[in-house]
Amino acid sequence: MMPDNIFNIIKYVIWGNGCVTVDHHVFDEMKQHTIASLLSPYLSGIDMSTELKQQWTYYTLQQLSYYTQYNYEQSHLPITVSYVILKGTTAAQYYPYPEYRSMGDIDILTRREDFDTACQQLLNAGYCVKQELNREISFAKNNITIELHRSFASLNNAEHAEYMDNLIYENINPTHVLPDQINGLVLLEHISQHLEHGLGLRQIIDWMMFVDKCLSDDKWSEFETYANNIGLKKLAITTTYMCEQYLGLSHREWCSHADVSLSEQLMDYILTSGNFGNKRVSDSDISTNVIAYASTPKMALKILQKQGLINWRWARKCIFLKPFAWIYQANRYIIRGLNRKQATSKLKEEYYIAQKRKAMLNSLGVRTTAKGNVIYKDGKYVKE
């Protein structure tokens, strides 16, 4: 019943269809998917308890406050070299009320020759380095995080990644906003980037709003070429068909031959994930992830080590224990797994779920850890 309520709310907010029923469970679920603020313009006309309306209003005011600060920081960036904004406000522009689309970090891509200059300009303006990865450096100031990208595409195929990044570089312009078709490709590839570890309804709605505004049947041919060249044509078709079936998007002829079963699997998976997988945090969820992603001993070790550092606080505090976090996590799985009721049947169930998920991701053609991620290094795209 809960998914139907959320689907009805999305249809009501986006398309003005039907009526909605809300309660605390619906509110909590929508927060998990970072879409609760979408209902904000209609709160006064919806029947709910006074307590819930106060909570929802307070949540909305927090979101609006952050949106205001987010936009201020974005419009006052100290970067003078050419750059483009990715996701964020460039996704929100397609919404009926852009200010109610929840924001995360400010994602920026510069040309490669300008990257170091942009980093220095952020540092000179008082931003501090938060995290440095191969693909980007994160800077923080005034509770806003800026991710400055060296490259954007995160795919399993080097040619696909190079093709996509070159498309973005070629379309950097003084407005700092990509043309619609390239912007839509970024939203599609963003779904691919995060789907393996969990993706919520916010990113799906981003895609749906782009399709509604920019991807009618007569515009599909050009976009099909782009999507095909990065291996994500099937993801585009399946996700769009899913939006038609569940979220009220009007029909596109180019989705007529979508895989119905795959669309249903994708929606079920998204509903159990939440925003970037934040609903899947139990040990059973993680053990399913290990089975799903660990196609090699090296990959299994990587996943166990990462989760071990989350769960074993002494490893985070003591540098000498840090290398052994994977052992802690492996034992944690074994002990907790054996202590469960019907442990054997649950393990079999987790294995089945993991294999089904792997098959779904492979069928969609999305990026998966097991296939080896492509990075830009020493002037070329190579697998890690």
- Long-range contacts, 244-247 (Cβ 8 Å, 24+): 246/7, 247/7, 247/10, 247/11, 247/14, 247/204, 247/205, 247/208
187 and 293 fall within a common domain: no
188 and 122 fall within a common domain: yes
pLDDT tens for each residue of 124-174: 999 999 988 888 999 999 999 999 999 999 999 999 999 999 999 999 999
Counting the structural domains of the chain, the total is: 3
64 and 76 fall within a common domain: no
Q: Do residues 39 and 56 lie in contact, with contact meaning Cβ atoms separated by under 8 Å?
A: yes
190 and 180 fall within a common domain: yes
Q: What is the mean pLDDT of residues 83-108?
A: 94
Last residue of a domain, one of 24, 50, 71: 71
Distances (CA, A) of 362 to 108, 196, 355: 29, 10, 11
Q: Looking at residue 281, what is its pLDDT?
A: 43
226 and 177 fall within a common domain: yes
CB half-sphere exposure, 39, CA atoms < 13 A: 33
At 287, the pLDDT band (50, 70, 90 cuts) reads: low
| Helix/strand/coil for 32 | helix
Contacts of 214 (CB under 8 A, 6+ apart): 94, 180, 181, 184
Q: Do residues 130 and 138 lie in contact, with contact meaning Cβ atoms separated by under 8 Å?
A: yes
- Concatenated DSSP letters of 54-102: HHHHHHHHHHHHHHHHHHHHHHT----S-EEEESTHHHHTTSSSGGGS-
Contacts of 208 (CB under 8 A, 6+ apart): 14, 240, 243, 247, 249
144 and 49 fall within a common domain: no
pLDDT tens for each residue of 168-221: 999 999 999 999 999 999 999 999 999 988 888 999 999 999 999 999 999 999
Report the Cα 250 to chain-centroid distance in Å. Answer: 24
Last residue of a domain, one of 223, 247, 276: 276
Beta bridge partners of 137: 132, 148
Contacts of 268 (CB under 8 A, 6+ apart): none
Segments forming the whole domain that contains residue 288? 283-383
More confident site: 286 or 129: 129
Which range, 4-18, 223-237, 306-320, is most confident?
223-237
257 and 294 fall within a common domain: no
Last residue of a domain, one of 50, 71, 92: 71
79 and 152 fall within a common domain: yes
107 and 189 fall within a common domain: yes
| Predicted structure pTM score | 0.86
96 and 175 fall within a common domain: yes
Whichever domain contains 236, its CATH number is 3.30.460.40
Q: What are the structure tokens assigned to 372, written together?
A: 């080896």
Q: Judging by DSSP bridges, how do beta strands 144-149 and 106-110 pair with one another?
A: parallel
47 and 152 fall within a common domain: no
209 and 249 fall within a common domain: yes
Q: Do residues 367 and 196 lie in contact, with contact meaning Cβ atoms separated by under 8 Å?
A: yes
Q: Looking at residue 282, what is its pLDDT?
A: 46
